[in-house]
Structure 1
């Protein structure tokens, strides 16, 4: 379907790709992984035709269509409702609808066979395109990725960038291109929406390439991993967990080959050095020199899985109670977030606050921080020193500072050597620490802001979506850092791998109350599934009770039910007879409207058409009554069984 052959792409003098190749087949589900800055997003833009390769080529089949979700779409705005924007995915069908409307308008004065035939053809094409279902499909996708039904009529421009990105994702999913390319789609989705997209992509009919740092998302929706590293594309035939294991095995084989080759090279070099001056060995020496020159060198393995060791320093420990919320209420107009809710954070708690967007997670974080007005009581414990990380912390970085300088001004009291060690843990080594903040990527700025948060002497951290913009390696570093953190923290996150690695308690907001599960995310997921099964079982029990209740009816009640059943069956027969008469009248009128003599008499045609419409309305009313009676008769029949 699409082939990348001997691709090279240079930025300045640096090769981002060099002779890289990849073949994408229909229905491939590919996860594109690699460190930030290795060129994952660039590759998608090359495939999309936004960038031209320095050499090599991208070949695609003639019928291959490409849909590309990228971060540039964050700036897209429109006066149209989000439903109308999503419906733009069906351009051809919408055009047909406009043509049908125009023909119907024309038929008010023109009743020729030509115009009737044209309408019939347009309607056939519209039906073949499933035009009558496009609105329902658009609503299903929009609601699947987190929009409420009442939001669908709101203009796109009234939503934040992240929500606008969801609309663009919905539009792409509805377009169903041959190749769907998604660049960090989970950055703008909450957990329920991520799970919905996972299920959608599993059954997606076309090919998919996803750039994501969400390891569980990749595990659940891709069957191939392509790693971008050292300017090449390496394919692993499995999901992310398979890739991790397979990469370990490959690295071990490569390291052994490297060590064996190095040993052979040293032996050869010793032979050359020892016998270089002997004429009798000159042929052998020259032969070995040429062999070394021709040898294809095995690269030494560079392990991306960095183990870090943070030394957190607190000037004081907090008291046992860190923050207490008593009978707290919070609302924005008619939107109620919390209502008379109570919660406690104790020293040593590692809390993950999860759930759908719009439930108030970030608001709750600000309430805990003490920066959000509330009704009720918030009390901070003894000796609590807070540090808050959120996406706006990136904007608070001083863009003209160097990275090291930014940390020096954070007031941590650490020496330059200690600060450089911390920055090394966050992948800023050697001269990287002297880079200006203003030249850093979003992911690099996130790492700097996180480093600033972690070097503070805070014994209570509030972290709002800390993994956004981080690559997989950086997420793993953050997990290790928080595992070594001896203070207390609460984090809002949709990254399940991250939550599994750091949380010992799970919080969520339900029915305007803060709910707590006192265990790991793995245990919470199991508990939640058990609760869902219990609900299903409870529903079955209620049904059984209803069945038992039916069996306990008295003879009098059963006789009343028999009489009621007979009465309703008679009503049903009368309605069916009436419907048949209406259908016959409609058929006769349709014949009259098709008569050329009637076409030529617009007054007569209009009179017949009005009567026809009245009959349709009456038919719809009777059909509704018929459906209601059928349900009532069914219930009575069940009672009498």
Structure 2
């Protein structure tokens, strides 16, 4: 079933057409990715789909009653409530049902109500139906669901009572996404949901979205994320939208094949056009052949000429070339601790970096990855330990905060002021290779987008010609095409790289080693990101096995007092569990007995002797109704007791 259709939609900004005649379908349980360059119009389109804006032409149709949840990129949650209370607002309906259930329970225990059989039966019937509805709508599990989602975004119980107004912008953005996930709309629209999430949270989010009950429409530059979440891709390029089945990697292959076919058809037509034009030029003035030449000219005029494939899409072109080679030893970090104001984030840190290595640093947010880079560069003093650079090391630094840029300078002078002896024409040419052309070079840095600032920083870094690059989240703000260009430049770089990134696809493409940072120090993995994940899984499995074997060989010994307390608690626990178990068994016996009685009555009613005996059939129908009602009550009791027993088992 199709939930939503975008049909022949166009968006204009003045005389400029951003995109035209685009079509997009979202099916029930669909997993749709929308990709394309920065500025292609992805966010504009999804705002239309979300209902925030309307198309200039075309229409967007929705299934009747469709619920849509839209999470814009970097849109934080604004609330005066605590984290827990804000998440509870998602389940207002269940909480109202919960209160109603308690009210009905109080009424059913009222002696006056019990004495009034008719009233008691009516309340009981309402209670049974409400309890069933409550269970169907996850009334017994919504608090556990809240805890699970908050835990996924690294909000432990210590955060539950914290006012949202006291959180950082990044935390409020994560909470907004968490709330949107809990709301479970039929169609969930996410614009760059992976921004600023660490690897652990990204992995959790992927797993959650894979099991999401509704449909997904996702805009993202995170290729690893798209590979694990999307099952179809829409590519927005040159004002049009192309559909590809499969995940991101499949889309890349299919797009390359489509582009190859387009070039083949384009070249074939160009050859045909050239032949026709040549024939016309040679024969139009000759009396004997002029009619044939005119026919060829008409053929040319009527020809539906193919556009040059992707002719208006430009990519940045740059390389990193060191002025000189460093020694074999580039950097040693020995038993170092990093942090702020005496508070240690990570210790001990040990790095042994050699020439031509490309090392990725990973770890949870807040563990000190960016702090480590700044400490190595001398911007922050180490709390302890040694940092030793090798011979001939020239260090270049990419700062994710973009603090190295000057807001009031133009793009041209941001670069030219660093290289005043370089001719202006050369500076403009260099900027052009990073896609700063024409009037772009006269823009102030303050007016640039995040992606443009990132490209400007890379331009400055490339012109330094250092042999040791230290990069802090270099793919932030870059679109997929720019990320691929950066990957190519780094893979061709004849130097050494140390970088922090949460872009797992980027790590896979660039790194030949991974260093994991934790509060307890560093762990080295001699491979890319996939290798790191596999080795971590092996280590976790081995550690779990060792722990189980150790526990079996040497059971934990408690103190006599603790043993007595534990024994009493266990005794009470087992006693209550046995009581519930007996009650469940008894109810199961009752259900079996009642089901047999019901089947016997129905069998009797179906016998020919009773077909024409209205009185006997009436009596049997009353017995059947009473048995069915009693069976329903017993089944409800069994469900309640079974759930309680499951809690004991857990």
TM-score band by shorter chain is: 0.7 to 0.9
Structure 1 counterpart SS, 2:233: strand
2:82 paired residue number: 81
Kindly indicate whether the alpha-carbon contact (under 8 Å) linking 1:322 and 1:346 is maintained by their aligned counterparts in 2.
Answer: yes
Q: How does 1:362-373 map to 2 (within 5 A)?
A: 362-373=370-381
1:92 aligns with 2:93: yes
- 1:535 CA drift (Å): 3.0
Whole-Å Cα distance in 2 between the matches of residues 284 and 473 of structure 1?
Answer: 48
Secondary structure at 2:81's aligned position in 1?
A: coil
The aligned residue for residue 196 of structure 1 is 204
Deviation at 1:573, TM superposition (A): 7.7
1:150 is aligned to 2:158? yes
Structure 2 gaps, min length 5: 114-118, 556-566, 587-640
TM normalised by structure 2 equals: 0.77
Alignment of 1:247 with 2:255, yes or no, is yes
Moved more, 277-286 or 264-273: 277-286
What secondary structure is seen at the aligned counterpart in 1 of 2:335? strand
Question: Contact conserved, 1:227 with 1:233, CA < 8 A, in 2?
Answer: yes
Q: Residue 197 of structure 1: CA displacement? A: 1.4
Matched, 1:55 2:64: no
- Find the aligned partners of 2:343 and 2:387 in 1 and give their Cα distance: 25
Contact 1:146 1:357 in 2 (8 A): no
Question: Is contact 1:410–1:456 with CA below 8 Å preserved after alignment?
Answer: no
Q: Do the aligned residues in 2 keep the contact of 1:464 with 1:492 (CA within 8 Å)?
A: yes
**Of 375, 378, 400, which aligns to 1:391?**
400
Tell me if the contact between 1:38 and 1:228 (Cα under 8 Å) persists in the aligned partners.
yes
CA distance in 1, matches of 2:99, 2:300: 73
Quote the residue 2:22 is aligned against.
20
2:147 is the alignment partner of 1:131: no
For residue 599 of structure 1, what is the aligned residue in structure 2? none
Q: 1:275 aligns with which of 280, 283, 288?
A: 283
- Alpha-carbon distance between aligned partners in 1 of 2:574 and 2:86, rounded to the nearest angstrom: 45
Moved more, 24-33 or 79-88: 79-88
TM superposition shift of 1:47:
0.6
CA contact (8 A) 2:314 2:435 kept: no
Describe how 1:403-414 pairs up with structure 2 within 5 A: 403-411=411-419, 414=422
Alignment of 1:489-638 (within 5 A): 489-538=497-546, 541-542=549-550
Partners of 1:322 and 1:347 within 8 A in 2: yes
Mapped partners of 1:167, 1:435: distance in 2 = 35
Partner of 1:178: 186
Query: Counterpart in 1 of 2:459?
Result: 451
Asked whether the equivalents of residues 68 and 189 of structure 2 are also in contact (C-alpha less than 8 Å), the reply is yes
Which is worse superposed, 419-428 or 503-512? Answer: 419-428
Structure 1's unaligned 5+ residue stretches are: 548-564, 585-619, 632-641
CA contact (8 A) 2:356 2:495 kept: yes
Q: Which stretch of structure 1 is more off in the superposition, 146-155 or 41-50? A: 146-155
Counterpart in the other structure of 1:30 = 32
> How far did residue 367 of structure 1 move?
2.1
User: Structure 1 502/48 Cα, relative in aligned 2: closer, same or farther at 3 Å?
Assistant: same
Counterpart CA distance in 1 for 2:44 and 2:528 is: 37
- What's the C-alpha RMSD, in Å, of the aligned pairs? 3.9
Measured in 2, the distance between the counterparts of 1:186 and 1:580 equals 50
- Is the CA contact (8 Å cut-off) linking 1:5 and 1:21 kept in structure 2? yes
- Residues 160 and 578 (structure 1), Cα distance of their counterparts in 2 relative to 1, 3 Å cut: closer
Instruction: Report the alpha carbon displacement of residue 392 of structure 1 after superposing the two structures with TM.
Output: 2.1
Task: Assess, with a 3 A threshold, how the Cα gap between structure 1 residues 20 and 519 changes in structure 2: closer, same or farther.
Answer: closer
CA separation of 1:414 and 1:487: change in aligned 2, threshold 3 A: farther
Provide the rounded CA distance (Å) in 2 between the counterparts of 1:30 and 1:346: 43
